[in-house]
Amino acid sequence: MTTRRLSISAIFMALVIILSASIFSIPVPGGHFYFNTILIFLVAMIFPATEAVIIAGVGSFFGDFFFYPAPMFVTLITHSLQVLVIALLLKNKELRPDLNRLKVVSILALGAVIDLIGYFLGRSFVYATPEYALLKLPFDSLGVLLGIAGAYLLYFHTGFLKEFKKVWK
C-alpha cells in the first residue's frame, strides 16, 4: 500500500465518519437519510474488498461511536458485510466505466438487502424492538434506494470515476 493510497482511503473513511452525523442528514418521516449511505455504496464499488470493509465498515462504526453509539456494533457488522459482498462480486480490481450496469445495480441491490436485514435484526434484538424495526423498514428501504441511486450516478454519470482514477494510480 502506497502513501497516496493510504491517504485516499483515510480521506474516504473520514468522510464516512463525518457524514454519519445528524447535521449531514435529511429528516424524513421515521428518521433521517444519511449521505454516508451513498458513500458506503460508492466505496464498495471503487475500493478493493479489504479496504472497502475498513473504510465503510469501521468508518461507519466510528461514526456511530461519536454521534449515536447504540447501533455501533450492528453498523460495523452490517456495513462490513454489505461492502465486502459488493466489492467481491464486482471484482473491482480495476476501475471501469464500462461495467455491465444491470449487473452493478443487481449487486448494489444485494448490498441493500444485506443492509436492510442487518439493521432490521439489530433493531429487533440489539438496540430496539421488532415493532420499531418493522416501522423503520420502509424508511430504511427508501434510504438504501437513494444510496444506490446516488452511488450509481456518481460512478457512471459524473467525472468522479475519471478523477478518482487519476489520483488512485
Summarised one tens digit per residue, pLDDT across range 56-114 is 999 999 999 999 899 999 999 999 999 999 999 998 656 777 778 999 999 999 999 99
Does an H or E element contain 26, and which? strand 25-28
* Residue 8: alpha-carbon gap to chain centroid: 17
Contact yes or no for 140/153 (Cβ under 8 A) = no
Nearest to 115 by CA among 155, 153, 86, 149: 86
Identify the band that residue 131 occupies on the pLDDT scale cut at 50, 70 and 90.
very high
Question: How high is the pLDDT of residue 92?
Answer: 61
Contacts of 20 (CB under 8 A, 6+ apart): 34, 36, 59, 60, 62, 63, 64, 66, 67, 68
AA identity, residue 100: N
Question: What domains sit in the chain, N to C, each tagged with a CATH number?
Answer: 3-21+33-89+100-168 (1.10.1760.20)
**17-61: pLDDT as tens digits:** 999 887 788 887 767 788 999 999 999 999 999 999 999 999 999
